[in-house]
Structure 1
Amino acid sequence: MSTGIGEALRTARQDRGRSVEDVAQVLRTRSDYLRALEDERFEVFGGDIYAKGFLRNYAAELGLDPQPLLETYRREHGEEIGSTVLVSSGAATRPTPRNAPPPWIAWVLVAVVVLAGLAFIGTLGSGRAPQQASQDPASPPPAPVQTEDPDQAGDQDDAADAEPEPEPEPEPTFDGVEVLLALEESSWMRVTIDGSVVLEETVPAGETRAFGGDGADEVVVRFGNAGGVRAQVNGEEVDSLGARGQVVEVRFTADGAETA
């Protein structure tokens, strides 16, 4: 189900006469990520923080206000609210059991017992032994006539209601090493790809940056606030880069991340 986010991005890009590749080059990211945003395939990013970061960057580059799109994303992809227990006067409200009999049944049973007792006393007064009730169980009602096999009928109904399963999304492929950095807090960063410095600046909180790809062998990043940044390497989450405010240099390769 479309939320309108992808359509808004695609329309803004086309209105400005720009291609996905053009915007990807400016943002220094893969065009596949921008196409995923326009197709609303947010699962490609492997986490909300990365998806929202790319969404913010892409919208801003296209001249859109990112906030309404982010609000829509949070509304449509937010956490589900768990079930709650209703309480009244400090105690949990207990539902009435579904199988409890109605009160009038008890009165009917009392009347039956009284009438049976009176009948028994009457037989004693007349000198006749009471007749024993028949022990034969009541005959069961006739089984309903099956006009068709219920299993087959159910299968036919299921087949009629079943919808074709959607094609599975292809797994993302990586050419060399690719690093996604999501800034939970602002941090100064210096990024070096295969020996060439490509970035040296303070990146504000809320942004997501992608580095590497195109056959890159290694990406080395020096962080001024390692604890404020989350990272993925070729789609795999890195446990921790360091503590908040800690200066750390991390070397990323296709095999993972290690402190340089």
Structure 2
Amino acid sequence: MSIGNSPEDERPFEDGRSSDGHEEEARPSVGRALQQARIAAGLIVDDVSSATRVRIAIVHAIEADDFTPCGGDVYARGHIRTLAKAVHTDPAPLLARYDDDHGGRPAPTPAAPLFEAERIRPERRGPNWTAAMVAAIVAVVGFVGFTAFKGGDSDTDAASQVTQGATPSAGKPAAPKPSNTTATPKSDPSDSAIAAAPQDKVTVQVSAVDGRSWISAKDHNGRMLFDGLLKKGESKTFQDSSKVNLILGDAGVIQLYVNGKKIEDDFQPGAVERLTYTKGDPEVG
């Protein structure tokens, strides 16, 4: 069967029979169940591929119950679990059906990260706003120090021009020269562009606090700021003049800060969220 067939063109699934010859209740195969759940969720294959990073060809093959492109039972089970979450269905019955059809659950084996294997294009990093802020601070401190040094030279030149006959009064110590040095501001290494979010821009920080998640971020022109996997404990900060568009592959593990304020949305584990934030956000609710 062609990978690109529509649901109406899928071949019918045969009913199973028990050992005593009686027909048992028909149930959809793993691929058929995933396809039906996707259609019920109002998603197309492109949506599922974008949300899960599983290639379109593999999604089509799995929905046709062809697990050969997955590269083995371990990877096939991982794909089934990922696709089930993306179409909002329970993966447990599907994994049990797969195990029944393929000789039981495979023994645990070390496997490369699932999402890394399915990466379509290399990760592109957004601008490093923290480094830019540090560079700006260093430039300001250097300018202040240079100004103070020039001021000290001027005071020395003026003192050398005093008439030799004029002597300081006895018993009066020379007045200390006022210091023009300016204390260097200290920055907390944990601070980022969020801590000084400009009022004329929208700044969004995405942190994977409870696990890893694929994320995508675009600016108001649709230009890709980031497209890749955010591992547990990692953070990304995005900034634009008017709007930042996000897609979160597993919103339940993500914590968001928008324009310096924490977003309290109750994202569910495994849920795919499409979000847009502007300079006026976060709005109430």
TM beyond 0.5:
no
Q: Which structure shows the higher strand fraction? A: 1
Task: Give 1 or 2 for the bigger CA radius of gyration.
Answer: 1
Indicate the TM-score class for this superposition, using the shorter chain for normalisation. 0.3 to 0.5
TM-score scaled by structure 1? 0.33
